Structure 1
Amino acid sequence: MDIIWVVLIAIAALLAGVALGFFIARRYMMSYLKKNPPINEQMLRTLMMQMGQKPSQKKINQMMRAMQNQMDKK
């Protein structure tokens, strides 16, 4: 009977550790991506030039603001 309790406690601790680890990792990645966005203005400018568009600073600012708003929603 004691072995059953030990096994149940071990399984519960394992599940709690996995859940806690997932949420800590998720919070860390969200803060990392907020501080270091995956796309910056230079990358966006190069991307637009490759698509055949002449990027204006106004258009780049508009797209960066839209991406920032999208990140803030999540």
Structure 2
Amino acid sequence: MQRHATPKKPTNLSLDAGLLQEARSFGVNLSQAAEAGVRQAVAAARSASWQRENADALASSNDWADRQGLPLARYRQF
């Protein structure tokens, strides 16, 4: 996935020494790998936050569907 160029900020990280050595032995770009991992962690945190914030609405919607059935269920072909 290609992202638009954004300003980078130098950051210090503490990594497992063995993992760091192995990554270097394979030529892993540490900055790119760290950014990808942080991006994935942020996406997971954002998703979990949304689910917590909307838990009541989701429960209400699920409860309604459990009681009423799905509105277009009669058109399902499976």
Range into which the TM-score falls when normalised by the shorter chain: 0.3 to 0.5
Under a length normalisation based on structure 2, what TM-score does the superposition of the two structures give?
Answer: 0.42
